Amino acid sequence: MTANQTNVHFERILYKKYEEVWQYQSVLQNELITKRRLAKAAGITDFRQEHHYILVCEHNPVYTLGKSGSMDHLLLTDEELAGNQIEFFKINRGGDITYHGPGQITAYPILDLEEFVTDVHLYVRNLEEVIIRTIADYDLHGFRIKDYTGVWLGEEGNLRKICAIGVHMSRWVTMHGLAFNVNTDLTYFDKIVPCGISEEDKSVTSLAAELGTEVDIDEVIMKMLDHFEDVYGFKVANKILSTHINT
């Protein structure tokens, strides 16, 4: 994709309530949709968004279930969720159930694809490519596998998913995105059927698990943003990690 150095505004959000971040994504998505709709109504044929957004978050423990997911894939009762202080939400992205929590990078691009390429399949493949390139910086070979969205490691009989992807799109403006396990506590995945995948030869992994040591998550974020720029052709306008939002 190319976008003539389209500007993308970066925000780092730490431990804000999941529902608030979800609502914030919707606000930003609707902002871009409204601006383009008004431009079209005014007959502006060369309209370009002032900027797009990418939110990079670490959440408190939460399970989210996508539109095509099954409640059977959540293996905890409401009481067990509350007792373990884990939130749960049914949300408007594609895909099944997954976990978000500390040590995991969630990246939510809010992009108007009319300034990139209006191709959902390509958009998702490029999200995968960002993470494939990021983990390559740590000498890990990530890849895609047939029928399963996301980024995988390993070999036949021992496939390990390091990044899950689920998106929502309205009028070609994106929200939701990817969940990249860096220093994630993987035991949380034991209480769900991750992404609805129950095959015994497929599991979940993290960058730390593959490397045998914890990783500087700020370093990983900067590498990931560099690869977002390369893959999508945009420019992150404020790539400074001090833009944290803490609650």
Q: What is the DSSP string of 62-126?
A: EEEE-TT--GGGB-S-HHHHHHTT-EEEE-SSSS-EEEE-TTEEEEEEE-BGGGS---HHHHHHH
Residue 145 is part of which domain span?
7-246
Q: Is residue 132 part of a domain?
A: yes
**1 domain-assigned:** no
In a domain? residue 2: no
One pLDDT digit (tens) per residue for the chain, 247 residues: 444 578 999 999 998 899 999 999 999 999 999 999 999 999 999 999 999 999 999 999 999 999 989 999 999 999 999 999 999 999 999 999 999 999 999 999 999 999 999 999 999 999 999 999 999 999 999 999 999 999 999 999 999 999 999 999 999 999 999 999 999 999 999 999 999 999 989 999 999 999 999 999 999 999 999 999 999 999 998 877 654 445 4
Domains identified in the chain, total number:
1
Tell me if residue 195 is catalytic. yes
Q: Is 129 part of a structural domain of the chain?
A: yes
Overall pTM surpassing 0.85 (yes/no): yes
CATH at 58: 3.30.930.10
- Out of 132, 164, 178, 195, pick the active-site residue: 195
